Amino acid sequence: MLRQIIIFSWLALTCFYGVAGEISPKQAHEYLKMPKTLGTSGEFIQHKYFKVLKKPFVSTGHFKNIDGTFEWTTLTPVQSALIFDGKTLWQQESDGQLKALLLAGHYIVVVEALVTGDIYQLGEFFQFKKLDDASCLRLTPKDKQMALIAVSINFCFEDSQLKVQLNESEGNYTIIDIKPNSTHGK
Amino acid sequence: MNNGRLILLATQLLLMISLLVIMAINGVKFKADLLSVLPNIDYPVAVADAEKQLFSQASNQIMLSFSGNSKEQAYDDMLIAVRQNSWQAQSPSSDSMERLARFYSTFSGALLTRQYLDKIESATSFKQYFLQQLSQVSSPWVTHTINGDPSLATANYLEQLLTKQSALLVENGRFVAVNVPEKPLVLFVQLSSNPLEAQGIDFSIKVAAAVTKMTEMLGDKYSSVSIKSSGMIMHTAENAVNAKWEMTLFGGLSLVLTLCIVVWAFRSLAPVLWISLTIANAFLFGFSVLALIFDAIHFITLVFGVTLIGLGVDYCLHVLANRFSDEKIPVGKTIFFAFITTFLCYSLLFFTPLLILKQVAVFVSAGLFAAFVMSFWIEGTGSFTWINKGIRPRNCQYLLTWLTQIPRLTVVLGSFILIFFVFNTPIFDDSITKLNASSKSLTKTQAFHHQLLDQQGKVRVFLYDESLQSLLQNEEALADTLKRKFPQVALVKLSDWIPSKRIQRANKALEKQAYDNGVYNELLQFSPSFKPNDTSNILTLSHFIEVNGSDYLSHLYVDVNPYHVSVMEISHVSMLALKPIIESTDNAIIFDKQSALTQVLTSFRKQMSFWLLGAISLISILLWFRFDWTTMIKSLFVITVTISGALIVSSLYQQSLNIFNLLSAILLMGLAVDYLIFYREHPKTNANILAISLSALSSLFVFGMLTFSQTPAIYSFGITVTAGLILIYLLAPLVIKEENEQRSV
């Protein structure tokens, strides 16, 4: 009997803690002390840490969202671009040719929300939890399909800059440092 | 003599009771899908078996689509309802991509796409490719495979494979159709774990009713959401419900109308009893013989079978008209001759390749026999009290005068019809789509769902071989040919998932060669330990199915011992351009059931046309033999004008004719011969004219009803026979001869 009470209490506390740990997009927004809107363009540095590679893979570039078209342009080490026109995701290769990326289309919406700091959009796909670091949140995918791009995401905002860490499968992870071009009113 | 009639009836009744007992013990199965009644197409056994298996799979599934603002909520509610019905929703598995990635990574080097082979032609092109792939902000393919295969070959293979296989994406655990702007959600539902259980009519009707109820309920709850459902089972249910309703309505109405005119004409209820007995005997005997001969009875057969009421009642009407009239002329021989001709005409339908007509032939022929036996016995029996108030109208002389006094007019009308027919011959359209009995909304939904699945305009080619490796190699060779000749071609095939061992070994050799040539130098800077996979690990079909299940391949591969059959889906190439290539490929066949059935129907129609001409000639000879030259020529004129006129009327109503119009011409020939014999054989008595008129009227009730059917096959049949009956009634008196009156029968 005592054992059952202990187990029940433990389960109840765990659930309470679990529920209590989750915060709403509005709370997340306030917690990170983010401005109402971040710039819709900026620059990025991406570090990819794959277990099989002995050193991180670094790429840099810029992004922008103009009239509903989101462009993610990589400048180094090779030039390429991802262009999302709201319906289809296109990959522009160094020779300028566009190739439709059918299956990756809906992941780019998440990427765009991540790099522009659109917490409310992210709330559609992820649950938020506070991390020990006061400027960071842990994002957990609501749907397992979204977990294909990251099992979890560390989303940090500090000194007007975003830092996103995609914790991928099999111990791989990607860190993207984002410097928005401009921020408006806090 | 009367004892002979009684023995004949007793034997037939005994036989019928025995058959009914057998039927009660064995049970009766019913069918309602129109495809099952169409002629078999001459495909190789392996292909026919594979198609049967694929058809069975498809019959066990329905597809639902959800569009509109609250589509996600409606989808989730439907999912709950589906589970409550103990059906299985085929939701995308969240870990399937990870499992596939892990599985394919173990065969690194064996699975290379054409694009990847181009990239490893030189160190520069590979470097460019490698850097670009790793620069991507997020690539599930790279993330999930790079640890097992840093050359990125598996990532590339997986991305290409999944991109071209499906028009559906997965979002939040739901399939999303990306082919249409509103991006509807798609749900597949498997109805039974055993596909054979999902084929009964009752099951289909139950499923369709449940789906409709769920759809309506969710439609009320989410007014902005449009939910559409399709599947073979929906067509079966719709056809079955239609056929049941039509059979009951048409059968009931025509029976009631026939009995009404009988009561009116004979001024007594007694003939109703005789006619009811005749019809009941005909229907039960026809049905019991049908159940004995065929495994399953098609509902459409029974709708066509309603014609038995109109035909079977004729014999009894002739018997009763003569018993109730003053002349009391025996008609036994005449009804026997009439029965034989109609019986022969219907029996011939048994030799057609259409299952439905075989069933109609058995049902009506057996029923006619029973109707004849019963009428024959009624004529002979003297033990019943005849409540005879005399027939009405007492004198049909006016009608007879009118019919016989207009021969010139009928000849002119007939000649005009023949001339019109010759100069304006109706056109036949044998397209199987013209016989589609499903409602427009169901057909439209099916087309919409085909669009969602990107199935429109695709040509399916079946390839078969006893060796799986030979089959895969044949498929790859065909794909190479097609890509060479038509660069724009898009292919979906089994060898996308499981390349042949020959290709896999060749790929391994090419990767090794690239490694030796320093193509992978850029990769080696990041991962110095990288080496091509030296193991002889080759991907096999059985291994794939063991790990990933058979769902991915269920539409592309069928195992029909001893054959392996694969289905290649080809788009962006016309059938015309494709045909010669497929014909020159071993063990390959274009599977286009629609065109094949249309071709079969065209050939069948041509055969039937010749057969009809032969049958008319044969009947003419018989009439000449039985009567004289003049009767033969007049009869030939009547039959030809009747058939021509009926086809003209049908073509004016339907725009184009189909095989069922032609088949009804056979029945018209049988009916016309009956009328001609009655007019030629018997004197111009009141009873004879009344019997012929009543029989024409009852047949008109029956066949006229069919013109209101929803099923193209049935209304085509009804229109032609109705128009023909009117013409026969007007033209048949041409054969009357004055000497009939002195003729001893």
Question: Are B252 and B340 within one domain?
Answer: yes
Measure in Å the smallest separation between the Cα of B476 and chain A Cα atoms: 25
Residue B154 counted as domain residue: yes
How buried is B352 (Cβ within 10 angstroms: 0-12 exposed, 13-18 middle, 19+ buried)?
A: buried
Hey, are the CB atoms on A50 and B147 less than 8 Å from each other?
yes
End residue of a domain, out of B230, B253, B272: B230
Q: B92 at the A interface (CB within 8 A)?
A: yes
Q: What stretch of H or E contains B186?
A: strand B185-190
Q: What is the pLDDT of residues B600-651, one digit of tens each?
A: 788 878 877 887 888 888 888 888 888 888 889 989 999 999 999 999 999 9
* pLDDT score recorded for residue A13: 45
Note whether B172 contacts A145, CB cutoff 8 Å.
yes
Reading the block at residue A75, the tokens are 């400048």
The domain total for chain A is 1
Within 10 angstroms of residue B390's Cβ, the number of other Cβ atoms is: 12
Q: Which uninterrupted H or E stretch holds B256?
A: helix B232-266
Question: Residue B225 and residue B70: Cα distance in Å, rounded?
Answer: 6
CATH number of residue A95's parent domain: 2.50.20.10
Smallest CA-to-CA distance from B424 within B617, B608, B657, B713 is with: B657
Check pLDDT > 80 for residue B573. Answer: yes
Mutate to test the interface with B, among A101, A145, A174 (most CBs of B within 10 A): A145
Domain count, chain B: 4
| Residues B261 and B396 placed together within one structural domain of the fold | yes
Residue B439: inside a domain: no
A116-129 burial by CB neighbour count: b if 16+ within 10 A, else e? bbbbebbbebbbbb
In a domain, A4, yes or no: no
Check if A165 contacts B (Cβ < 8 Å): no
Does residue B408 surpass a pLDDT of 90? no
Task: Answer yes or no: is A3 within a domain.
Answer: no
Regarding whether B210 and B80 lie in a shared domain, the answer is yes
| pTM, to two decimals | 0.73
Q: What is the pLDDT of residues B647-695, one digit of tens each?
A: 999 999 888 898 889 888 877 887 888 888 888 877 667 777 888 888 8
**Using one digit for the tens of pLDDT, what is the confidence trace for B293-304?**
988 888 777 766
Per-residue model confidence as pLDDT tens digits over B165-196: 667 777 777 888 877 878 899 999 988 877 66
Task: Give the position of tokens 């078969």.
Answer: B464
pLDDT band at residue B393 under the 50/70/90 scheme: low
Query: Which residues 360-419 of B are in CB contact (within 8 Å) with A?
Result: none
Distance between CA atoms of B7 and B5, rounded to whole angstroms?
5
Q: How far is B94 from chain A (nearest CA, A)?
A: 5
Distance between CA atoms of residues B123 and B130, nearest Å:
10
| Interface contact B98-A172, CB threshold 8 A | no
Residues 6 or more apart in contact with residue B531 via CB below 8 angstroms: B515
**Mean pLDDT for the stretch of residues B531-536:** 78
pLDDT at residue B350, rounded to an integer: 82
pLDDT for the residue B434 = 79
Residue B656 sits in the same domain as residue B735: yes
Residue B173 to residue A172, Cβ atoms within 8 A = no
Scanning B627-745, the segments in alpha helix (DSSP H) are 629-654, 659-681, 686-706, 712-731
Mean pLDDT of the region B232-238: 86
CB B400 within 8 A of CB B689: yes
Do B300 and B414 fall within a single domain? yes
Which residue shows structure tokens 């917490």?
Answer: A119
B174 vs B281: which has the higher pLDDT? B281
* B135 contacts in chain A (CB < 8 Å): 46, 57, 59, 61, 74, 77-78, 80
- Does A118 reside within a domain? yes
Is there a contact between B494 and B166 (Cβ–Cβ < 8 Å)? no
Answer yes or no: is A144 within a domain: yes
Burial of A4 per CB tally in 10 Å (0-12, 13-18, 19+)? exposed
Please report whether residue A66 resides in a domain. yes
Confidence grade of residue A20 (pLDDT, cut at 50, 70, 90): very low
Contact B144 A82 (CB under 8 A): no
Asked, for residue A76, whether it belongs to a domain, the answer is yes
User: Which pLDDT score is estimated for B40?
Assistant: 64
In this structure, are B315 and B181 located in the same domain? no
**In 3-state terms, what secondary structure has residue B63?**
strand
- A102 and B CB contact within 8 Å: yes
- Residue-range definition of the domain harbouring residue A131: 24-184
Within a domain: residue B436? no
B390 confidence band (pLDDT: 50, 70, 90)? low
pLDDT band at B555 (very low <50, low <70, confident <90, very high): confident
In a domain, B49, yes or no: no
A50 close to B (CB below 8 A): yes
Question: Considering the domain boundaries, does residue B448 fall inside one?
Answer: no
- Token couple for B152: 């990125």
- Whether B159 has its CB under 8 Å from any CB of chain A: the answer is yes
Question: Do the domain assignments include residue B577?
Answer: yes
Asked if A111 reaches chain B (Cβ–Cβ under 8 Å), the answer is yes
Residue B34 has pLDDT above 70, yes or no: no
Q: In this predicted model, which residue has the larger pLDDT, A127 or A132?
A: A127
Chain B positions in Cβ-Cβ contact with residue A97 (cut-off 8 Å): none
Is B65 part of a structural domain of the chain? yes
Which value, in Å, is the radius of gyration of the alpha carbons in chain A? 19
What pLDDT, in 10s, does the model give residues B337-380? 888 877 877 787 787 777 777 888 899 899 999 999 999 988 88
Per-residue confidence (pLDDT) for residue B123, from 0 to 100 = 93
B526: chain A residues, CB-CB within 8 Å = 53-55, 57
Nearest to B567 by CA among B663, B493, B668, B618: B493
Q: Which of B128, B134, B136 sits opposite A94 (nearest CB)?
A: B128
The pLDDT, as a whole number, for residue A19 is: 43
- As to burial, measured by CB atoms within 10 angstroms (0-12 exposed, 13-18 middle, 19+ buried), residue A92 is middle
Q: What is the mean pLDDT of chain B?
A: 84
Quote the pLDDT of residue B33.
Answer: 65
- Comparing A143 with B215, which gets the higher pLDDT? B215
A97 vs B419, higher pLDDT:
B419
The closest CB to that of B169, out of A106, A146, A166, belongs to A106
Is the same domain home to B112 and B191? no
* Proportion of chain B above pLDDT 90, given as a percent: 31
- Indicate if the pLDDT at residue A153 is higher than 70: yes
B668 and B552 fall within a common domain:
no
Query: Does B47 map to a domain?
Result: no
* Per-residue pLDDT tens digits for B434-448: 777 788 888 899 899
Residues B101 and B146 in one domain: yes
User: Does one domain contain both B305 and B320?
Assistant: yes
CA dist B71 and B628 (Å) reads 77
Q: SS3 for B62? A: strand
With a cut of 80, say whether residue B267 has pLDDT above it.
Answer: no
Decide if pLDDT at B584 tops 90.
Answer: yes
Within-domain flag for A6: no
Residues in chain A closer than 8 A to B492 (CB atoms): none
* B277 and B288, same domain (yes or no): yes
Task: Report whether pLDDT(B598) > 60.
Answer: yes
Residue A82 maps to a domain: yes
Q: Quickly state the pLDDT bin for B743 (edges 50, 70, 90).
A: very low
DSSP assignments along chain A, one per residue: -HHHHHHHHHHHHHHHHHHHHEE-HHHHHHHHT--SEE-SEEEEEEEEE-TTSSS-EEEEEEEEEETTEEEEEEEESS-EEEEE-SS-EEEE-TTS-EEE-STTTTHHHHHHHHHTT-HHHHTTTEEEEE-SSTTEEEEEESSTTGGGT-SEEEEEEETTEEEEEEE-GGG-EEEEEEEES-EE--
Taking an 8 Å cut-off on Cβ atoms, the answer to whether B173 and A145 are in contact is: yes
CB distance A104–B139 less than 8 Å?
Answer: yes
Q: Which residue has the higher pLDDT, B140 or B401?
A: B140
User: pLDDT of B357-367, one tens digit each?
Assistant: 788 889 989 99
Confidence (pLDDT) at B424: 86
Q: Which domain holds residue B408?
A: 235-425+596-742
CB environment B406-439: b (16+ within 10 A), e (fewer): eeeebeebbeebeeebeeeebebebbbebbbbbe
The band of B93, judged by pLDDT with boundaries at 50, 70 and 90, is low
**CA atoms of A58 and A45, how far apart (whole Å):** 7
Same domain, B69 and B195: yes
* B175-179 own/partner pairs: CB under 8 Å, 24+ apart: B175/B91, B175/B92, B176/A106, B177/B65, B177/B452, B177/B453, B178/A102, B178/A105, B179/B451, B179/B452, B179/B454
Amino acid present at B275: I
